Amino acid sequence: MLNDATILLVEDNPDDIKLTLRAFKQNNISNDIVVVHDGQEALDYLFAEDHCQPEKGMPALVLLDLKLPKVDGHEVLQRIREDEQTKFLPVVILTSSSEEKDLVRSYEKGCNSYIQKPVDFGQFVEAVRQLGMYWVVLNKRPQSTESNTL
């Protein structure tokens, strides 16, 4: 286990969910991974709009697809950045989109990283290993916004 941090995976494609979970397992990343299947579920999870507030607090990392039903990934990202409790939450866009407009818009809205899903499973496993190592183990982030006021 890397640590006890939770990872929130926001993905609607069942095959991509299976591949991502398999890649985490192959890399011995045994953190709790919460999977939600659309943008509204992600917002409900993060903001307790549907009384789904996570018992362990906020996740350490959000892996966010862009093309989602109900609420798209860009809107989810915008809501995360607008809220005081989540504005520093690391959000990595993990998408199959290679469109420049999606890349630019994601950074404009405040994503921490943008990763295009590799087609090759071996490359995907390596990308997930690096994601887990950096964002869950090495990266330091503020635990609350209250202690970060100027």
**What DSSP character marks residue 80?**
H
Edge-to-edge strand list for the sheet holding 91-95: 33-36, 7-10, 61-64, 91-95, 113-116
pLDDT band at 60 (very low <50, low <70, confident <90, very high): confident
pLDDT at 56: 57
Quick one: what percent of the chain has pLDDT higher than 90? 49
Please tell me the distance from the alpha carbon of residue 123 to that of residue 130, in angstroms, as a whole number: 11
What pTM was computed for the model? 0.84
Which residues are CB-contacts of 87 (< 8 A; sequence separation ≥ 6)? 80, 81, 145
Name the superfamily (CATH) of residues 7-138.
Response regulator (3.40.50.2300)
Which one-letter DSSP state was computed for residue 136?
A: I
pLDDT of residue 17: 93
| pLDDT computed for residue 29 by the predictor | 82
Q: Which of 51, 127, 53, 26 is nearest to 34 (CA)?
A: 53
Q: What is the pLDDT of residues 6-32, one digit of tens each?
A: 899 999 999 889 988 988 888 888 888
